[in-house]
């Protein structure tokens, strides 16, 4: 459903959308970093990013933009261990639903009128962290 539903919806509503309209798919940082237990989820989110780029190609000639937002850890009430993820994030916190919503609003707005086929990572820097490099840094600076 992570790929099929957005593809079908975009195909169906894309036919009736007017020039300047925009579609924003919701991906996940799992599309970039892989998984241990949710391999199918990660693969489907990676596929969604490819679908986003392809839809941008197909609908672009009609002036319709298609982008994706790929959130990292978000305090949505379903996390089991939110503090571990926040500790690994350079900004030191998990995202808030409002962080993601504001990004979607931006991509839907005319302020993003020349952005299409993009995947905007909203993760507080989480995907840029190499856990072992972070540990090495912490060991080199005792007391931090």
Please give the radius of gyration of the chain, using alpha carbons only, rounded to the nearest integer: 17
Helix (H, G, I), strand (E, B) or coil at 26: strand
Report the distance separating Cα 142 and Cα 144, nearest Å.
6
Report the distance separating Cα 124 and Cα 72, nearest Å.
7
User: Which of the residues 32, 41, 126, 131 is marked catalytic?
Assistant: 41
Q: Is 32 a catalytic residue?
A: no
Report the distance separating Cα 84 and Cα 124, nearest Å.
14
CA contacts within 13 A on the Cβ side of 8: 5
> Active-site residues: which are they?
41
């Amino acid at each position: 459903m992570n790929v099929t539903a957005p593809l079908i919806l975009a195909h169906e509503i894309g036919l009736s959308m007017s020039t300047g309209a925009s579609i924003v798919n919701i991906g996940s940082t799992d599309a970039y970093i892989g998984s241990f237990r949710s391999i199918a989820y990660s693969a489907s989110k990676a596929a969604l990013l490819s679908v986003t780029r392809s839809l941008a190609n197909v609908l672009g000639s009609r002036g319709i933009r298609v982008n994706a937002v790929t959130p990292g850890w978000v305090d949505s009430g379903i996390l089991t261990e939110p503090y571990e993820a926040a500790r690994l994030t350079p900004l030191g916190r998990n995202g808030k639903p409002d962080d993601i919503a504001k990004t979607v609003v931006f991509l839907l707005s005319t302020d993003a009128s020349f952005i299409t086929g993009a995947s905007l990572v909203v993760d507080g820097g989480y995907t840029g962290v190499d856990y072992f490099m972070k540990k090495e840094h912490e060991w080199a600076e005792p007391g931090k």
